[in-house]
Structure 1
């Protein structure tokens, strides 16, 4: 059994992308213990594949790179779309490339599964047409929240299952104790205007830090990425804040996904705008207050029965709402319930894939 894990890998500096890969492998290995896994992602491109939509069309016609033969070598195309890229929010070229390779796999009669992910939004007619072809060519379509399930239904293909994020399929870590509040300040939101006002976000983060310190909480800055040249890197933001607060904050830069999950599992609370920082926390039973910057947060968290999602789209009341959630004495109990629900929901994926293999 050879399985192509698309749009995730074990080398990405983005720990959310790594979590999708690890969750996929751990889940699918319970079905096929002897399976061989191959990754395909922007940081780990196979020689037979090009990322250019024009190049993909040319390759399909000429076969010079051997992509068709390469796809023929797989028994399953497990398409994660990096969790939230089955959409045009990151640009139409990215959506087009991912959709075309999915279609080419289906044309080679490789069973294709749209793994649990966010579906939509689709802002143009072309992006909707691409999405429609993908859902109709997939053996299984799995949504990680009800809003995504509704988006698939509007494409004429109801999902086979509404479940949750693949992070709940990862085996549990051994907790590394010693941290109270882990604060994940996102490099994406700190600098880019793509998802809101960076100045407002910076004010929110500093107000949250100040409020936690006034409450006597120990705060550790926690980038949920590995240090890299990526412009969305959280590490420079964390080091900047660490210097600004002159020793009043801790700083932990994760070495890899396993280290990140161990630190998170041993903490009292995570506050973060990286969705997988929050999902990694809930999947280990650690409470997480999410600073949501897109529509992918609330429906997914809601399906887990987790209400602590704050819209970080510029309101000056964001910090107050986060700090009010911090003061909730039932956070730990709620987190354990969310963890258990996530595990049950993802177990349904395993049963469904087993039934259709």
Structure 2
């Protein structure tokens, strides 16, 4: 039996993007267990929360840990583990979000190193790192990792610039593997257009002061897009789709609150349900005809379920991921003018069949790139299992 600990994943995270990464990582591990016949047991180190866990199963244990207050509990769990997989919540392996988040990430990584438990740096965005101490600790952990995988070229380049000369697997986002139930699309009727509205960007980021340096007024951009779709010559049915649904309603991150507020002004728009899991959100999105959003994993849900999508970037992670797959429909909210963003969105909408064809090829490439990570992880698990048999 191989005991795997997942860090900076989430079994009940309000951010369904983090949940999508976790569900997909579990899916990959279950596939390895099925192919190899090795019993893989998974422990998710998670934060305390009121939401019911949506990552469940007889192979899943969720441990609630306050990392800064309970490092001894982390130490115990990792001493009992055969393997630690860290995914950095997809994009947290950077210091642009502040010190606290990165400090927790480094504590988890270095406890794994101290226990000599093999650490896998799963496909994620690496960097940017703006401070020397961040670069030093990131380099030290990556050098000690059993596997280093990124999800885009920019992250691979960042790791190389840190001085990582060993093997780096440039994979893609594991959420391409997220299971879902396809929603059938009725023939005829209005075109179903989905807009993921980011509560975080509507709030100006965590600071409330345009934390991400947007070049546009995000709130006005969203209302302009909504009004243009409502008045479009093609009959459109507008869906406002949350992908962060906060347990504390109306919090700075809460997409659902932002969607509900917009629906008061635009009552013809439909607000998607309060999704209970990442797969439920993806299943809903799969029934749309066109999509755009500022939550990257809402866009990945569309991308990997065949729905033409325009990602609305607020950081480099968007272009890093999608450009690495040859998909060039991302708009940049930190650099582009509102008029340019709107023109690009509606150009993609009016050419959505062409976009869908290009997206299908890009998705195929993403799946192929993920296979390299899965193969390396499977080889590592087989090696660890063989060592157990020799004891």
Which TM-score applies when normalising by structure 2?
Answer: 0.83
The number of residues matched between the two structures is 346
Instruction: Map 1:183-194 onto structure 2 (within 5 A).
Output: 183-192=195-204, 193-194=210-211
Q: 2:98 aligns with which of 91, 97, 101?
A: 91
Q: 1:267 aligns with which of 279, 282, 288?
A: 288
Structure 1 partner of 2:259: 238
Instruction: Map 1:14-163 onto structure 2 (within 5 A).
Output: 14-33=15-34, 34-43=39-48, 46=63, 50-52=66-68, 65-158=72-165, 159-163=167-171
- Aligned equivalents of 1:185, 1:340: Cα separation in 2: 27
CA 326–170 in structure 1, closer or farther in 2 if over 3 Å, else same: same
Structure 1 partner of 2:241: 222
Q: Are the equivalent residues in 2 in contact too, given 1:190–1:199 (CA < 8 A)?
A: no
Matched residue of 2:220: which SS? Answer: helix
Structure 1 partner of 2:344: 321
Which TM-score applies when normalising by structure 1?
Answer: 0.91
RMSD: 2.0
Q: What is the Cα deviation at residue 171 of structure 1? A: 2.9
Q: 1:203 aligns with which of 217, 220, 228?
A: 220
- Aligned equivalents of 2:238, 2:363: Cα separation in 1: 23
- Deviation per CA, 1:19-74, whole angstroms, max 9, x where unpaired? 01011011111112431111113346846x5432xx57xx5xxxxx4543321111
CA 327–75 in structure 1, closer or farther in 2 if over 3 Å, else same: same
- Aligned equivalents of 1:291, 1:220: Cα separation in 2: 16
- Aligned equivalents of 1:67, 1:7: Cα separation in 2: 12
- Aligned equivalents of 1:301, 1:340: Cα separation in 2: 12
- Deviation per CA, 1:288-342, whole angstroms, max 9, x where unpaired? 1111000111021011221110011262222222222212241221222222222
Q: Are the equivalent residues in 1 in contact too, given 2:7–2:108 (CA < 8 A)?
A: no
CA 231–176 in structure 1, closer or farther in 2 if over 3 Å, else same: farther
Q: Are the equivalent residues in 2 in contact too, given 1:77–1:105 (CA < 8 A)?
A: yes
Residue segments in structure 1 that go unaligned for 5+ positions in a row: 60-64
